[in-house]
């Protein structure tokens, strides 16, 4: 069993009063899963190699040893079977949490997610709840091969009936996984793989922010940068560089991809007059496209420049040695900042 499992409190969060720990996101999600399982015996974990191995990224490390193989279950290599089984368990009152090993492996389960899981509650006029969480490690910057570094969140955000969230910090990861499990609707929980290992403070005594709320990660006055998941750290890096040159950048962490909390975004744009939206996913028909259109519609008279988008290229994910060219970095973000400020 990992040190995390033995070091964290074994009671409800109140027992951890005033406790702040520095840990990587992978361990924060582990702690959040553990707390959810302690709080509710109906919470089950399912996925490939999540038991004794603890998953490819060791996010579930130690949980099977503590809760047993009937609550932390290794599954066959069959994503459709994992999701289909989770749907049946949810119908019987359980709260299954499914791990998809890598983002590109989710597509064998795409039909179950989009035609069944997303629609069953509506099909039963709300009488049948689907409290299923699907954990999806996603995104690049880990030097992996095709099908291991993609960002398919827009495909699921387009499907009515699914909630889509993505934390950017260990603290958000700890609280958001618990809120997702508590939701009576299906939640797609996208975990940025490149942020699994950098450490951040987790406040076990704090209250969770609403699951579908947007966060102002840095206050500024000249231009707003917006992103989600791993892109937030890239935006903060760009903001630091820009500050040295006298440009004040406000950074918005989207947190929730569907639904989107637009109030803080619009308030920021009305203050700065400019917006750059950045993402690891390709730009065509994307989350960034939707946000750009909505902000232009609702804050048109506040904009001093067009809403600009920075995204991956509209091609399949390249070999790992080319990922730094394919994925947006601070330089590409700052180039968009310069273009916006030039209007």
Active-site positions read: 148
CA separation for the pair 131, 125 (Å, rounded): 15
- How many CB atoms sit inside 10 A of residue 304's CB? 13
What is the radius of gyration, based on Cα positions, of the chain?
Answer: 20
Q: Give strand ranges (E) for 184-248.
A: 187-192, 199-203, 215-218, 223-227
Please give, one letter per residue, the 3-state secondary structure of 3-39. HHHHHCCCCCHHHHCCCEEEEEHHHHHHHHHHHHHHH
- How many CB atoms sit inside 10 A of residue 99's CB? 25
DSSP line for 268-325: HHHHHS-EEEEEEEESTTSHHHHHHHHHHHHSGGG-SS--EEEEE-SS----GGGHHH
Looking only at the bridges linking them, the beta strands covering 43-47 and 95-99 are parallel
Name residues whose C-beta falls within 8 Å of residue 227's C-beta, 6 or more positions apart in sequence: 234, 235, 252, 253, 254, 277, 278, 279
- How many CB atoms sit inside 10 A of residue 48's CB? 21
CA separation for the pair 60, 27 (Å, rounded): 9
């Amino acid at each position: 069993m990992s040190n995390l499992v033995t070091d964290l409190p074994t009671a409800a969060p109140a027992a951890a009063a005033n406790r702040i720990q520095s840990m990587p996101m992978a361990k924060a999600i582990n702690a959040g899963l553990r707390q959810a399982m302690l709080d509710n015996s109906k919470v089950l974990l399912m996925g490939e190699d999540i038991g004794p191995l603890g998953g490819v990224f060791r996010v579930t490390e130690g949980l099977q040893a503590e809760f047993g193989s009937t609550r932390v279950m290794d599954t066959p290599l069959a994503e459709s079977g994992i999701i289909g089984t989770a749907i049946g368990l949810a119908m019987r009152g359980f709260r299954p949490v499914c791990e998809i090993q890598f983002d590109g492996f989710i597509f064998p389960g795409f039909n179950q997610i989009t035609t069944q899981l997303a629609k069953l509650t509506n099909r039963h006029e709300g009488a049948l709840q689907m409290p299923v969480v699907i954990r999806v490690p996603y995104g690049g910057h880990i030097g992996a091969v095709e099908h291991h570094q993609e960002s398919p969140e827009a495909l699921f955000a387009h499907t009515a009936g699914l909630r889509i969230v993505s934390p950017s910090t260990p603290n958000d990861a700890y609280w958001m996984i618990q809120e997702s499990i508590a939701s009576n609707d299906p939640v797609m929980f996208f975990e940025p793989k490149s942020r699994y290992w950098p450490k951040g403070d987790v406040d076990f005594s704090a209250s969770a922010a609403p699951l579908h709320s947007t966060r102002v990660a840095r206050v500024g006055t000249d231009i707003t940068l917006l992103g989600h998941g791993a892109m937030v750290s890239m935006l903060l890096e760009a903001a630091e560089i820009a500050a040295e040159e006298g440009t004040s950048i406000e950074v918005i962490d989207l947190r929730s991809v569907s639904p989107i909390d637009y109030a803080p975004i619009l308030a920021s744009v009305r203050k700065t007059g400019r917006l750059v939206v950045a993402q690891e996913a390709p730009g065509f028909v994307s989350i960034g496209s939707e946000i750009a259109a909505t902000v232009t519609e609702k804050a048109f008279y506040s904009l001093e420049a067009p809403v600009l988008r920075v995204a991956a290229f509209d091609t399949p994910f390249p070999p790992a040695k080319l990922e730094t060219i394919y994925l947006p970095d601070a330089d590409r973000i700052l180039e968009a900042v310069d273009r916006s400020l030039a209007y």
